[in-house]
Chain A
């Protein structure tokens, strides 16, 4: 469990009833979010992540369970207490939710007006915030004259104006193009590093998690199916849903179609090897040398490696062949794979062109779909 959690959810449940059907939007969720970290909650739409984040600033009230923010149990708060709590938590929205009738400066100054700041102090703070998000020249513009990225910068400046300890970002980049997404994510990261704001990021894009999150929770049907350090979750995803997200983010593991094409081009034994920062350090990754010593020749036929949380991660497909007679050759390749396992390198055997094997990380997913 996290040391010094700023947000703690303990067996929290929230149901919605519509047309006689009960939806468990948040189903027995326990979670600790540490002070000063960027925590991601990822899930498909309808997974309950937006409800989850709204429980934290009590825009939604939990049906059962305990939510503590900064040591305060939310259940004990009345209307006034809730308003104070919310004033200390910034929130950024997917569609920005700016006040179109107010200028950029007035939007950013709004939470300060609520907090009763005097005009001069407010003005100084607004300038400072607009400067921080890099749109100081737009102070007097109205939101409708801004691009999506600029609007979200205003949204972030507004959310941070009152120096909240926590920032909730609900799909903050989902309405933005990839380039703008990156800029906004960098801005969030800077807020975290410079201002020390704890950030909870809700997203359906693993790329967002990959880019800025320290830790991540994967949510499905109201439940948290997996949680951990971003790199660990990416490198060793346990749940099929997580694997699917990572697949779409990294696109490094060959799909069954790709494997089919690889088999037709490369008749030998194909093996997917997962490349992590650990495996790169491992001596066994000097594959060619080890393979040679076992009379196996290996060549990389497919793969990609990227960075997750500033560490390398990816998959490579290696074709292994042996000049030895058929039976001995197979045994030599098996020995090589065993050696890799011993060195902590995870691999998946895709078989040969004549005897192809399925990649369980794909078939898992199909089975899980069938169960639905």
Chain B
């Protein structure tokens, strides 16, 4: 191996770790912020539904339309379409940190539906039981419904993690870095399939680990009952 090849390989290895770090930070920041906002939005959607705890048909209709508008847009288009908003809020539209903004929005919207669905699946009689005991509506939402739906919520968030890893791969389009950019710029565009495969393998390992943790957690929550 020539010294030049060695240097190149070292550079690739180092880049891989940097890109993996970028993916992890984008994914965790998005999941944290988007996950919480999505929980709030999901609880609002659930509460304002017809017959809900804080039934409010107009609010539900507006939120539902917004969610439905955002969800079907392909992320690679969405990330470019919201560029002005990204610049206004993040100060720039290029790089890892700015890429988090569109990711958070999409993650929030996706989370909200997952949360809403998890809550709908809970037994409605426990809401009535809470009301009959004099619990306030927010108490019922956060202290009764969320714990009751914890296992499906954990699985939902695990499912979301995969989606967010998918999103992060597209952040490469706006130079957001991450494994996606690694696979595209250093692999695909340089005809180096090995690099692409390494990126793919890393993502598979990442997703598998998280799925295992998620499954284990939800099982643990269910088994405790």
- A residues in contact (CB < 8 Å) with B: 57, 59, 82-87, 89-91, 93, 95, 97-102, 110-111, 114, 142-145, 158, 162, 168
- B residues in contact (CB < 8 Å) with A: 123, 125-126, 128-129, 131-136, 139, 144, 147-148, 150, 221, 224-225
The 3 closest A-B pairs by CB, nearest first: A87-B134, A97-B129, A97-B125
Known contacts A93-B125, A97-B123, A99-B144, A142 near B132 by CB under 8 Å: no
Residues of chain A contacted by B128 (CB below 8 angstroms): 59, 93, 97
Of B134, B144, B148, B225, the contact of A111 (CB 8 Å cutoff)? B134
The CA-CA distance from A98 to B122 in the complex, in Å, is 12
B148 shortest CB reach to chain A, Å = 5
Residues of chain B contacted by A143 (CB below 8 angstroms): 225
Of B132, B134, B148, B225, the contact of A84 (CB 8 Å cutoff)? B134
- Interface secondary structure of B, over-half rule: helix
A86 touches B131 (CB 8 A): yes
B130 shortest CB reach to chain A, Å = 8
Residues of chain A contacted by B129 (CB below 8 angstroms): 91, 93, 97-99
Known contacts A114-B139, A142-B224, A95 near B134 by CB under 8 Å: no
B128 shortest CB reach to chain A, Å = 6
Residues of chain B contacted by A111 (CB below 8 angstroms): 133-134
A254 shortest CB reach to chain B, Å = 41
B50 shortest CB reach to chain A, Å = 12
Residues of chain A contacted by B136 (CB below 8 angstroms): 83
Residues of chain A contacted by B135 (CB below 8 angstroms): 83, 114
A93 shortest CB reach to chain B, Å = 6
Residues of chain A contacted by B139 (CB below 8 angstroms): 114
**Cβ contacts A to B, 11 pairs, < 8 Å:** A59-B128, A59-B131, A83-B136, A86-B131, A91-B129, A93-B128, A95-B125, A100-B148, A110-B133, A114-B139, A168-B132
Nearest A residue to B133 via CB reads: A111
Nearest A residue to B129 via CB reads: A97
B133 touches A114 (CB 8 A): yes
B151 shortest CB reach to chain A, Å = 9
